[in-house]
Structure 1
Amino acid sequence: MLAELERLIGEIGDLNSKLVLLVGAGRSGKTKLLRELGTKLNIEPLNVGLELGRRLAATPNNKRGFSAGELLREIADKERTDAPLLLDNIELLFEKNLQINPLDLVKRLAHSKRVVAVWPGELRGDRLIYADMSHPEHRDYSRDGVVVLEI
């Protein structure tokens, strides 16, 4: 699976959105695979919930949605520019109060550098789903413009 992920990362360099999403059921090994890639490339995966959450805590509630994208870009820009950005624990981006489009935000990061992110939901046909329909944070996106590696 690591070899397949490395192949995909090599192939996305010429795409407009250089994003690979690792998609699979809970406990399927997405984070483990991301960490294996990080070890091989000597990169520490970014825990978005921890890093972004820490910065958002110091931001007034009414400005968090606007600030989330900027703060995430600042965090990403501190990483090595030649290496892929490895994102894990992105659930915070789905918080209803932020009123942002998490997939769009990650796609925008992937315009300037290769990004590998663990998707905390599932793939149903050509749709990326986060949470059940009854859940307040439920999201349903087309997978257009995203390379998906199912685990």
Structure 2
Amino acid sequence: MIKVLVEQLEENLEEVKQYREQLIFLAGNYVKYDFQALSRDLNINYINVDLEFSRMLLEISQKVRARKAPSIFKDLFLDTNDSIFLLDHIEILFEASLQLDPGKLLEDISREYILIVPWYGNETDSYLIHAELGHPEYFKYLKSEVIVNSC
């Protein structure tokens, strides 16, 4: 099964280069995969966003954290020559206190780097959805200009 996913992603990586936002979401049953192992199989950089981003945010006072969060997130991609990243565990991006727009943030980064992002939320024909309507972390992302690899 992982071999099939690797082959699909290799095709997606070629296809995504023609998009303005080079963003590939993995939705559905993909969430059961070991994405760190997958990144090794694809020879791409793996980032556990919850772990790395929260580590960086701890260095910033809570008073200015929301204002500086977007630039701090972009710092995750500095100091590397890599152009492709697998971003796992992105739940912190939905943290209401950070006041981020996760879709816009990922789109902005994906104009410079190719991003592969496992989506642990729900999926409809048109949207990727994080959390339930009414929840502080509720987020709905239109899938029109990105690749969504579903299984």
TM-score normalized by the length of structure 1: 0.88
Contact in 1 for aligned 2:30/2:118 (Cα 8 Å): no
Alignment of 1:9 onto 2:10: no
Alpha-carbon separation, structure 2, partners of 1:50 and 1:33: 16
Secondary structure of 1:29's counterpart equals helix
**Matched residue SS, 2:56:** helix
Cα displacement (A) at 1:62: 2.6
- C-alpha distance in 2 between matches for 1:77 and 1:37: 22
SS in structure 2 of the partner of residue 14 of structure 1: coil
**8 A contact 2:6–2:41 mirrored in 1:** no
The correspondence of residues 1-151 of structure 1 with structure 2, limited to 5 A, is 1-24=5-28, 28-30=29-31, 32=33, 34-82=35-83, 84-151=84-151
What TM-score do you get using the length of structure 2 for normalisation? 0.88
Cα distance, 1:60–1:95 mapped onto 2, change above 3 Å: same
Q: CA deviation at 1:134?
A: 3.3
1:36-86: CA deviation from partner (whole Å, max 9, x where unpaired):
43112333410000000011112111322222211121111233334x111
C-alpha distance in structure 1 between counterparts of 2:107 and 2:80, whole Å: 17
Unaligned runs of 5+ in 1: none
Deviation larger for 46-55 or 128-137: 128-137
Unaligned runs of 5+ in 2: none
Please say if residues 8 and 20 of structure 1, whose CA atoms lie closer than 8 Å, have aligned partners that are also in contact: yes
Identity of matched residues, %: 28
Cα deviation, residue 121, structure 1 = 1.0
Structure 1 CA distance for aligned equivalents of residues 148 and 34 of structure 2? 14
Give the conservation status (yes or no) of the 8 Å contact 1:2–1:33. no
The alignment yields a C-alpha RMSD, in angstroms, of: 1.7
Query: CA offset at residue 2 of structure 1?
Result: 1.9
Residues paired across the two proteins, number: 147
